[in-house]
């Protein structure tokens, strides 16, 4: 399928780290069903090293939503929490060998899902954090962009 | 196994259509406007194609205008009816909320020109009632445009009744018959249809050819200005291979309509019934007033595109109302219009059959679908909660 | 002997083009908007076709919009430029008196919308000068639309110079390159062309496919509203066989342009010189600034259609500026624009060659034409008087 | 060529009675070069029987102009002058097996050419005639009809 790069298709067809995590240290959920994408990310944090020792995801969404979730988990697994916070949607897109323009919001969701999970972990553990973790829904223009462009044969 | 089940998007060109096209791509390459024999041979083919469409619609050849597709035909019908209405000071148009974008976006354009548009909301079964139309009619209504059959959920509208009503009220009636032509019986006289749009690639004809039927006496406004082709109503050198292929395909489809429909209906119903067994699924659109080839369901907790990708991996070509590829994140306006919530509408699947599909293919689809739905639901955070009752069931 | 010499009206589809079309009419029948593999294979072909046009025009793929033909491209270019101009309060358009009707009739429509149109009168040689354009420019000029080469008399306009002028004056420049594309070198960058129209059937591609090039940043107004095909700028399922055939034909024409032109020019000049020997004949259009395949003359005392019918009897397919078939009794507006009197313009003959024509064919035409002219002149009451000096010689 | 009926093509390809007549009793010319059709009709009248003993035509014009001239000469040759005057354009069209709509004016021209020739004969011989021979150019709408329809590929 030429719509997506080989990397996207690989992550869509063989998603890494998919599933629930019952003893997660942090859980982040972003997106909403109305928009057609929900990502939930679970992280397990090694308290000593403050590294992400395990990560899982559940995603409701299109092919690229699943693929971006999957690669995001790979990109943060084993990394210090502070580094996971630096994961940018751009890095996700690059790692996937590109995304169609109208699918870029999926990479934004993946970035935000990671942040949401870390925030949850910080909140639960009373760790202070800065403004960059104050989620703002306006950041994501997914719901109002392109609305006129759709058509169906 | 390769299964093409996206015939509402487009169909394979039939051998019959191709055979009609090939001479036009080789020996008979003339321009039908040319005086010489090479041109006049093409002109004869053009006349013959026009007569074919006229014959199977019960219209006159002079009432047939060839266009570049269903979209252009829809545009021209609406713009023309609007111009006629405007001259009489009538600037109200009635349509439905689940028309194709070729109609909806043209109506938007008319609104910008000062027209008022009433979009009837379809009932949950996707079949507009004549009463709805009747109630919407105003003294300044100049056009009723209602599709013959819906392209997503396949529901057939009561065209003959609406036609009779419009005739009684002396209002122009256009129907986008792109999904119906070649699949359902159309008689523009009996059904009191004033204008009708067709697209050839929906019945095994080529892409890029459409037909606008407009009853004699209805003055068409050009969408494309220029030469005097199509009685001056549609400029541009005629797409001769396309037009000849379209006519051959239309004749073929009309001649074999009943047998094709019987075959498709039996496959359709098997598929609909089978897929409806999947828990938390719902069939979209009326079961009886339905195109022979249309199957459309929503599966809760999952999203359409990922379903399509997995089906594609299995060799099954289908489509989803989510129209994700076209750059829209909105779920199908059709499914929303019949009352499906956003989250449910996202999980829609359209399988559209043609007479080429076989029962083996249906069995294959029925075999792979449950796995796919389950696999995606397992991955879905929504399903998790739906199953455990934490999230409100939508269906 | 059969001689097709009406290539300006339309051309035979080349083997190259047909070979590119056939897969799209058989296996690769998908809708490029479909997500599945069948659709995405078509989408790849669509991209490749877009890249081909971009490459040979020195443009970007995103600047290429596929249309149903040259007429639609002309319509969309002018309507779009008008809309852009209107937003800036600029409602003056410059064009020429000998444009194709796809341009002239669209300009008429713009006039109805309050635009002012200046139609430059071509000099007798049929080549508009940059000075004419310069003098016509006003502060409220929003568009200059001048054809690349004239379809009747084959004269080539100074496009690069006009482009440079328009760039300097910051005015949009569109050129109807329907007769030029595939025959003359086009570089939209070097020539400062903002918009350009192409029709595939003029260079051995299929009928019913056109291209509108529009420089990045130029907001296009839809002529056809609906789906989001062509970046939302041209709705309707893409004519995939046509588009692929068009791209193959264009690549072929551009790759062999120089050799084809050399061949045609030698035939053209032989034909022009030979026919000009017939007394009371006159060549229309500049001899140098001329399409490689265009031959156009007027023969006094006779009428074009009867000439064509007799040529046709001899197996020669040609055309006349008299456009008699199209229901008009007016002689060609092109010939009138370069100053031919009505009675002379009626007696015009256009022979338009392609690289398929041979020298034998030219010899054959040269052999039969004098007889035909003489025969008709003998029957003509006008000739009688012209010969005996009772009627004023027109040429 | 499917544009014209076989009869039209026959008369175009083998026009009857084409040529000049030096000793004509009446000459009628109608149409004009501007419009692209001129018909000149010559008649020879047998004074005793008042029948048209010979007829010739010269035509500048399209295929159907030549064909209508030709058939008109056949239709009046040997006929009483009074009967020739009754030749209608409709009869010409019928005899030709039909004409394309935008060529009907040619049949009108043929009818008028005959009338003009008879009128000329009447004038030269001092024969009185009625209003039906008062030619009016308005009768022929050839020059202003269809002007918008033309196009050229
Ligand atoms: C100069 C010119 N412009 C536009 C057109 C219109 O192209 P089409 O008939 O393919 O729409 C033609 C030919 O028909 C032409 O010669
Ligand atoms: C109901 C309906 N109307 C109009 C169209 C537009 O037809 P086309 O894409 O051939 O222009 C389609 C399909 O694409 C359709 O399904």
Mean pLDDT of chain C: 95
- Rounded to an integer, what distance in angstroms lies between the CA atom of residue B163 and that of residue B172? 9
Q: Which residue carries 């109302």 as its tokens?
A: B321
Q: Which of A2, A3, A151 is closest, CB to CB, to C227?
A: A151
Using DSSP's 3-state secondary structure scheme, residue A130 falls into coil
In order of A85, B303, B325, C51, D105, the CA distances from A99 in angstroms are: 22, 18, 12, 20, 65
- Rounded to an integer, what distance in angstroms lies between the CA atom of residue B12 and that of residue D52? 67
Q: What is the C-alpha R_g of chain D?
A: 15
pLDDT in the model for residue A88 = 95
Using DSSP's 3-state secondary structure scheme, residue C297 falls into strand
Mutate to test the interface with A, among C32, C232, C237 (most CBs of A within 10 A): C232
CA D99 to chain CA centroid, Å, is 15
Do A65 and B329 meet the contact criterion of CB atoms below 8 Å apart?
no
The strand pair at C64-67 and B348-352 is best described as unpaired
E-state strands within B98-240: 116-120, 141-145, 172-176, 195-199, 210-214
The strand pair at B210-214 and B281-283 is best described as unpaired
The size of chain D, in residues, is 153
Whether C3-9+257-387 and C15-255 share one fold: the answer is no
What lies within 8 Å, CB to CB, of B311 at 6+ separation is B317, B318, B368, B369, B372, C36
Per-residue model confidence as pLDDT tens digits over D32-53? 888 889 999 999 999 999 999 9
Do A39 and A57 meet the contact criterion of CB atoms below 8 Å apart?
yes
pLDDT band at B384 (very low <50, low <70, confident <90, very high): confident
Q: Is residue D105 one of the residues assigned to a domain? A: yes
E-state strands within B121-189: 141-145, 172-176
Name the token pair of B390: 């934490």
Ligand 2: which residue has its CA nearest to atom 14? A153
Q: Which percentage of chain C shows pLDDT scores above 90?
A: 93
Average pLDDT over residues C87-98: 98
Give how many domains chain D has, as a whole number. Answer: 1
Per-residue model confidence as pLDDT tens digits over C291-312? 999 999 999 999 999 999 999 9
Residue of B10, B13, B97, B100 best suited for mutating to test ligand 2, as the one with most atoms within 8 Å of CB? B100
- Rounded to an integer, what distance in angstroms lies between the CA atom of residue C108 and that of residue D147? 14
pLDDT in the model for residue D1 = 44
Name the token pair of B271: 């598929």
> CA quadruple B92, B97, B98, B104: dihedral positive or negative?
positive
- Rounded to an integer, what distance in angstroms lies between the CA atom of residue A57 and that of residue C180? 58
Ligand nearest to the CA of B207: 2
Do C329 and D13 make contact, defined as CB atoms within 8 angstroms?
no
Burial (CB < 10 A; 0-12, 13-18, 19+), residue A48, is: exposed
- The one-character DSSP state at C312 is H
Tell me the angle at which helices D63-76 and C304-313 cross, rounded to the nearest 10 degrees.
Answer: 90
Per-residue model confidence as pLDDT tens digits over B291-307? 999 999 999 999 999 99
pLDDT in the model for residue B395 = 59
What are the residue ranges spanned by the domains of chain B? 3-9+257-387, 15-255
pLDDT band at A144 (very low <50, low <70, confident <90, very high): very low
Q: Which percentage of chain B shows pLDDT scores above 90?
A: 93
ipTM of the complex: 0.93
Indicate whether B350 pLDDT > 90.
yes
- Dist. CA C199 → ligand 1 center (Å): 7
pLDDT in the model for residue B394 = 56
- Rounded to an integer, what distance in angstroms lies between the CA atom of residue B280 and that of residue C212? 48
Flag the least confident range among B111-115, C17-21, C247-251, C320-324.
Answer: C320-324
Read off the CATH number of the domain in which A65 is found.
3.90.1010.10
- Rounded to an integer, what distance in angstroms lies between the CA atom of residue C300 and that of residue B184? 58
Could you count the other beta carbons within 10 Å of the beta carbon of residue B256? 13
Name the token pair of B159: 């065209």
Does B touch A (3+ CB pairs < 8 Å)? yes
Tell me the DSSP string of C235-286.
-S---HHHHHHHHHHHHHHHHTHHHHHHHHHHHHHHHHHHHTTSTTEEE-S-
Indicate whether D147 pLDDT > 90.
no
What lies within 8 Å, CB to CB, of C281 at 6+ separation is C275, C297, C298, C299, C300, C373, C395
The strand pair at C316-317 and D26-32 is best described as unpaired
Do C226 and C84 meet the contact criterion of CB atoms below 8 Å apart?
no
Do C207 and B238 make contact, defined as CB atoms within 8 angstroms?
yes
Do C274 and C367 meet the contact criterion of CB atoms below 8 Å apart?
no
Indicate whether D115 pLDDT > 70.
yes
Indicate whether D151 pLDDT > 50.
no
Q: Is residue A67 one of the residues assigned to a domain? A: yes
Indicate whether B110 pLDDT > 80.
yes
- The one-character DSSP state at B121 is P
User: Domain containing D120: what range?
Assistant: 6-125
pLDDT band at A32 (very low <50, low <70, confident <90, very high): confident
Flag the least confident range among B294-298, B319-323, C349-353.
Answer: B319-323
Per-residue model confidence as pLDDT tens digits over C257-291? 999 999 999 999 999 999 999 999 999 999 999 99
pLDDT in the model for residue B111 = 98
Per-residue model confidence as pLDDT tens digits over A63-93? 999 999 999 999 999 999 999 999 999 999 9
E-state strands within chain C: 3-4, 64-67, 92-96, 116-120, 141-145, 172-176, 195-199, 210-214, 281-283, 294-299, 316-317, 348-352
Q: Any catalytic annotation for residue D106? A: yes
Q: Is the CATH code 3.40.50.720 the one for domain B15-255?
A: no
Q: Which percentage of chain B shows pLDDT scores above 70?
A: 96
Prediction pTM value: 0.94
pLDDT in the model for residue C322 = 57
Tell me whether B269 touches chain A (CB under 8 Å).
Answer: no
CA B350 to chain CA centroid, Å, is 13
Instruction: Give the burial string for B195-213 (b: 16+ CB within 10 Å, else e).
Output: bbbbbbbbbbbbbbbbbbb
pLDDT band at A35 (very low <50, low <70, confident <90, very high): confident
Residue of B159, B199, B202, B203 best suited for mutating to test ligand 2, as the one with most atoms within 8 Å of CB? B199
Tell me the DSSP string of C149-198.
B-TTT-BBP-HHHHHHHHHHHT-EEEEE-TTTTTTS---TTTTT-SEEEE
- Rounded to an integer, what distance in angstroms lies between the CA atom of residue C78 and that of residue C196? 10
Indicate whether B266 pLDDT > 80.
yes
Q: Please state the atom number of ligand 1 nearest to the C-alpha of residue B236.
A: 11
The size of chain C, in residues, is 395
Indicate whether C320 pLDDT > 80.
yes
Q: Is residue A140 one of the residues assigned to a domain? A: no
Indicate whether C327 pLDDT > 80.
no
The CA-CA-CA angle for residues B205, B210, B216, to 5°, reads 130
Q: What are phi and psi of C178, to 5 degrees?
A: -60, -40
Average pLDDT over residues B22-40: 96
**Long-range CB contact pairs, B328-331, < 8 A, 24+:** B328/A102, B328/A146, B328/A147, B328/A148, B328/A149, B328/A150, B328/A151, B328/C228, B329/A35, B329/A36, B329/A102, B329/A105, B329/A142, B329/A143, B329/A145, B329/A146, B329/A147, B330/A147, B330/A150, B331/A36
Residues of A in contact with C29 (CB under 8 A): none
Write out the H or E segment, with its range, that includes residue B282.
strand B281-283
Do C302 and D62 meet the contact criterion of CB atoms below 8 Å apart?
no
Could you count the other beta carbons within 10 Å of the beta carbon of residue A87? 21
pLDDT band at B329 (very low <50, low <70, confident <90, very high): low
Could you count the other beta carbons within 10 Å of the beta carbon of residue C277? 10
CA of D37 vs chain B CAs: smallest distance (Å): 18
Q: Which residue carries 């509203």 as its tokens?
A: C225
- The one-character DSSP state at D11 is H
Q: Is residue A78 one of the residues assigned to a domain? A: yes
- Rounded to an integer, what distance in angstroms lies between the CA atom of residue D60 and that of residue B344? 75
Could you count the other beta carbons within 10 Å of the beta carbon of residue B368? 18
Per-residue model confidence as pLDDT tens digits over B54-87? 999 999 999 999 999 999 999 999 999 999 999 9
Residues with CB under 6 Å of ligand 1 are B 236-237; C 69-71, 74, 100, 102, 147, 151, 176, 178-179, 199, 201, 210; D 153
- Dist. CA C207 → ligand 1 center (Å): 10
Average pLDDT over residues A42-59: 96
pLDDT in the model for residue A148 = 34
Average pLDDT over residues B188-198: 98
Indicate whether C344 pLDDT > 50.
yes
Per-residue model confidence as pLDDT tens digits over C181-218? 999 999 999 999 999 999 999 999 999 999 999 999 99
Mean pLDDT of chain B: 95
Residue of B13, B68, B69, B70 best suited for mutating to test ligand 2, as the one with most atoms within 8 Å of CB? B70
CA C187 to chain CA centroid, Å, is 17
Residues of A in contact with B319 (CB under 8 A): 152-153
Ligand nearest to the CA of B246: 2
- Rounded to an integer, what distance in angstroms lies between the CA atom of residue D74 and that of residue A144? 78
Average pLDDT over residues B338-353: 94
pLDDT in the model for residue D145 = 38
Do C203 and C250 meet the contact criterion of CB atoms below 8 Å apart?
yes
Indicate whether A146 pLDDT > 50.
no
Residues of A in contact with B313 (CB under 8 A): 13
Indicate whether D10 pLDDT > 60.
yes
pLDDT in the model for residue D132 = 73
Does C touch A (3+ CB pairs < 8 Å)? yes
Indicate whether B161 pLDDT > 50.
yes
Q: B3-9+257-387 adopts what CATH topology?
A: 3.90.1150
Residues of B in contact with D1 (CB under 8 A): 35-37, 40
- Rounded to an integer, what distance in angstroms lies between the CA atom of residue C302 and that of residue C394? 12
Q: What does the longest C-alpha to C-alpha distance in chain C come to?
A: 76
Ligand nearest to the CA of B32: 1
Name the token pair of C7: 């290539």
Q: Please state the atom number of ligand 1 nearest to the C-alpha of residue C199.
A: 10
Ligand 1: which residue has its CA nearest to atom 5? C70
């Amino acid at each position: 399928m030429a719509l997506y790069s080989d990397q996207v298709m690989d992550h869509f067809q063989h998603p890494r780290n998919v599933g629930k995590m019952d003893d997660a240290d942090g859980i982040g959920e972003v997106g909403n069903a109305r928009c057609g994408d929900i990502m939930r990310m679970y992280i397990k944090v090694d308290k000593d090293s403050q590294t992400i020792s395990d990560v899982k995801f559940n995603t409701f969404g299109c092919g690229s939503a699943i693929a971006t979730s999957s690669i995001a988990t790979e990109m943060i697994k084993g990394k210090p929490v502070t580094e996971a916070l630096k994961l940018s949607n751009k890095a996700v897109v690059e790692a996937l060998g590109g995304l169609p323009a109208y699918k870029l919001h999926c990479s934004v969701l993946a970035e935000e899902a990671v942040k949401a999970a870390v925030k949850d972990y910080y909140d639960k553990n009373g760790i202070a954090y800065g403004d960059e973790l104050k989620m703002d829904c306006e950041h994501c223009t997914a719901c109002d962009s392109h609305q006129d462009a759709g058509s169906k044969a | 196994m390769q299964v093409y089940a996206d015939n509402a998007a487009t169909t394979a060109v039939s051998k019959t259509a191709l055979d009609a096209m090939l001479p036009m791509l080789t020996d008979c390459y003339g321009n039908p406007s040319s005086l010489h024999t090479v041109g006049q041979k093409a002109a004869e083919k053009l006349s013959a194609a026009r007569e074919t469409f006229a014959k199977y619609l019960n219209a006159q050849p002079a009432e047939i205008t060839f266009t570049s597709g269903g979209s252009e035909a829809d545009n021209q019908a609406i713009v023309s009816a609007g111009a006629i209405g405007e001259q009489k000071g009538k600037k109200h148009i009635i349509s439905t909320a689940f028309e194709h974008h070729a109609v909806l976006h043209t109506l938007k354009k008319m609104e910008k020109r000062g027209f008022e548009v009433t979009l009837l909301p379809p009932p949950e079964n996707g079949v507009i009632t004549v009463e709805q139309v009747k109630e919407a009619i105003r003294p300044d209504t100049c056009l009723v445009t209602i599709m013959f059959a819906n392209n997503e959920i396949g529901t057939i509208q009561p065209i003959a009744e609406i036609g009779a009503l419009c005739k009684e009220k002396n209002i122009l009636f256009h129907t986008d018959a792109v999904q119906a032509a070649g699949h359902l019986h159309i008689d523009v006289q009996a059904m009191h249809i004033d204008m009708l749009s067709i697209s050839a690639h929906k019945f095994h004809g080529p892409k890029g050819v459409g037909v606008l039927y407009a009853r004699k006496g209805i003055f068409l406004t050009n969408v494309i200005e220029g030469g005097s082709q199509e009685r001056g109503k549609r400029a541009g050198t005629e797409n001769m291979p396309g037009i000849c292929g379209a006519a051959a395909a239309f004749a073929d489809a009309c001649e074999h309509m009943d047998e094709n429909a019987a075959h498709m209906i039996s496959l359709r119903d098997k598929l609909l019934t089978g897929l409806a067994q999947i828990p938390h699924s719902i069939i979209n659109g009326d079961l009886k007033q339905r195109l022979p080839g249309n199957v459309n369901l929503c599966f809760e907790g999952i999203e359409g595109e990922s379903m399509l990708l997995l089906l594609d991996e299995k060799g099954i070509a289908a489509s989803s109302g989510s129209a994700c590829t076209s750059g829209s994140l909105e779920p199908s306006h059709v499914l929303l219009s019949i009352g499906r919530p956003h989250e449910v509408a996202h999980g829609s699947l359209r399988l559209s059959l043609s007479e080429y599909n076989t029962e083996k293919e249906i069995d294959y689809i029925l075999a792979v679908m449950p796995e796919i739905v389950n696999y995606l639901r397992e991955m879905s955070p929504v399903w998790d909660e739906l199953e455990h009752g934490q999230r409100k069931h939508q269906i």
